[in-house]
Structure 1
């Protein structure tokens, strides 16, 4: 697994995507995919990079259909991958970036599975922010199945998050609507219900899944529970907006 972890880490630097791992590892398992992801996490942390939070991916039917999978996955991101409102983000740091509108949960207390309940997850959320995930694939041509994207850190590229919390309570998130705009043109939209039926459900799933491995979600971490709609590609010169209507919006620019 070390070899493939190193190849994926190298792809960040060279911007040369690699062949799908499922074609290189016979009968590749999900456990092997997460082992490759974890290798990269520890290797990157050893260089001093600081974990900022976690993301849950493939939580919407739209994204599952888009990528041909039927279950969620998770990945991680570091503080140096997190941008604020109106950030100008260099596209050259990615291979083939796409964007998704999401909620961003900041935790006020630790969540340690494997028996976290929905009520405990709700209580742990300090604030909810507008967020955009920039997804990217170190796998050639986005030719991914679940094991490929899991090994590739759930296709995480970077995160943008608003500076002001949305004026909502976590209990009402399923009814909130958001749209994804590229250069002001709507590319997709959905309600929080599109995120596993309840945006709190991915947080519970993540806490309990990591809890089975002895890992907790820490106070102060940022958690992205998944996209409202399918991802849209972006190139230099374009802007991306996660529009939450009267609640506000978040816009970033690609250069």
Structure 2
């Protein structure tokens, strides 16, 4: 990776701590393409591993039309998250950990085997060990959420944290597209979507991710947690607001965002 990409990667990683966003990478690196953007992301993942962080999962983003329209892109992307970015249902979350956070209702899947380049949909179905209700907290280390696809990819697909239900849910594979999420943030209007918004079926993005990661030499590993995409558009969240997601017969997921509460 050249010096320019290395500098952007270091600046993005530093922004997690400083809360000072950077200029869009596309404006800093002329002709930045997806390969270069993922190289910037991978440098950050390696730096965190070298610092002792455990990478416990992956997130797939931009799998719904709503999210692609919201961010002005036309294809999925992916990022990673560590053990220090994992929360559980009912947790109090310090909003000052983020710059401009937003939340998305999703489902998370834990796989029981490695998945490589030739992974099929049936392979994914057999590999899914547990299904959890999930909310992804997205954030942008890029100033003012001024992002295009290469910017969000470089910025770890805008991943900030993950909230999972305390227990897995019991849901049949063929029912996953019909799972409905109704998300309310504070006193705002509900955001509603179903699993069908995620590329037609919430497991379809896992097939895509297995192939893409295998091409990069980092196949999906047994035990990893995979979030496959938002059911609807993201909603901003601020200190003092509760996030409440009703998944109907499958349960609810809640979190309280507060300032300075660890």
Is there any run of 5+ residues in structure 1 with no aligned partner, and where? none
Q: Distance in 2 between matches of 1:147 and 1:89?
A: 29
TM superposition shift of 1:208: 0.8
TM-score calculated relative to the size of structure 2: 0.95
Distance 1:22 1:170 in 2: 39
- Structure 2 residue 204 is matched with structure 1 residue 198: no
SS in 1 for 2:45: helix
Aligned residue-pair number: 254
Q: Which residue of 2 aligns with 1:130?
A: 133
Shift, 1:183, TM fit: 2.8
Structure 2 partner of 1:150: 153
Q: Work out which of the residue numbers 217, 234, 238 in structure 1 matches 2:237.
A: 234
2-structure distance, mates of 1:184, 1:228? 20
Asked if the contact 1:83/1:159 (under 8 Å) is kept, the reply is yes
Give 1:232 shift.
0.3
Aligned to 2:44: 40
Distance (Å, rounded) in 1 between the aligned partners of 2:144 and 2:114: 38
Give secondary structure in 2 for the equivalent of 1:76: strand
Instruction: Describe how 1:154-169 pairs up with structure 2 within 5 A.
Output: 154-169=157-172
Normalised TM-score (structure 1)? 0.97
Match for 2:33 among 23, 29, 33? Answer: 29
- SS of equivalent residue, structure 1 residue 63: helix
Q: 1:170, CA displacement in angstroms? A: 2.5
* SS in structure 1 at match of 2:226: strand
Gaps of 5+ in 2: none
Q: Deviations over 1:216-235 (max 9, x none)?
A: 21111110000000000001
2:211 to 199, 208, 229: 208
Shift of residue 143 of structure 1? 0.4
